[in-house]
Amino acid sequence: MTVPGKEIYPRNDHETVYLKNVITDPNILVGDYTFYNDFINDPTRFEKNNVLYHYPVNHDKLVIGKFCSIACGAKFIFTSANHTLRSLSTYPFPIFADAWNLDWNHVTDAWDNKGNIVIGNDVWIGYEAVITQGVHIGDGAIIGTRTVVTRDVPPYTIVGGIPAKEIRKRFGHDVVKALLQLCWWDWPYEKILRHLSDITSGNLSGLLQSA
């Protein structure tokens, strides 16, 4: 049996890629089977076109879990897109250090660093959604089309709007708790394959029996 996930293009088109297999930036970490679809631009250029203001000087990371679905045009906007609010001016003087006789070692003073963007497992990020710096999105969450996420999203929560607001929970508390304990996305390929009908049909009891 050939285990999928090692190839770049999982389908018979060049619009969808297994994201892990096209990333070269060591500060972008992507789990197995997570895919990105782009019917406008080359999806293999995800780290250039979709991960914005992500400069090595900040040491911040984009972490995306396994089995995530990322739709065309989704953007991840990092710290350097901001201008610091500590200053009396919004003008980013430190990035023009030579002109203002400033020390280039303090260029990061131009913005407020809010840290990593962390996306859980089995997250669906909709068309042209925007995820901002420092946000953590829980396992199983859904981010609606053109939603702008500025705050953390709990697991198995559907959000939408600008800024993102909770629409509803995908499942009740007990189901969410069970799914988070199962972590089916960490199972080996063969085990997931055996229980694929349970996953896709919503048969939680079938998954629980295998735990």
pTM attached to this predicted model: 0.94
In a domain, 8, yes or no: no
Tell me: the pLDDT tens digits for 193-202?
Answer: 999 999 999 9
Please tell me the distance from the alpha carbon of residue 35 to that of residue 22, in angstroms, as a whole number.
10
Indicate if 88 and 163 belong to the same structural domain: yes
Question: Which of the four pLDDT bands, split at 50, 70 and 90, describes residue 211?
Answer: low
Share of the chain above pLDDT 70, in %: 99
Segments forming the whole domain that contains residue 157: 16-170
- Answer yes or no: do 176 and 156 share one domain: no
**Which residue's entry shows tokens 């009396």?**
88
Which one from 14, 54, 59, 83 is the annotated catalytic residue? Answer: 83
- Here the tokens at position 203 are 């048969």
- Cβ-based neighbours of 90, under 8 Å, separated by 6 or more: 83
Distance CA 182, CA 159 (A): 23
Q: Is residue 52 part of a domain?
A: yes
Give the CA radius of gyration of the chain: 19
The reply to whether 166 and 177 lie within a common domain is no
Number of domains, the chain: 2
Q: Model confidence over 37-95: pLDDT tens digits?
A: 999 999 999 999 999 999 999 999 999 999 999 999 999 999 999 999 999 999 999 99
CA distance 198 to 178: 14
Residues 159 and 189 in one domain: no
Shared domain check, 182 and 139: no
Residue 11 lies in a domain: no
83 among known catalytic residues: yes
97 shares its domain with 184: no
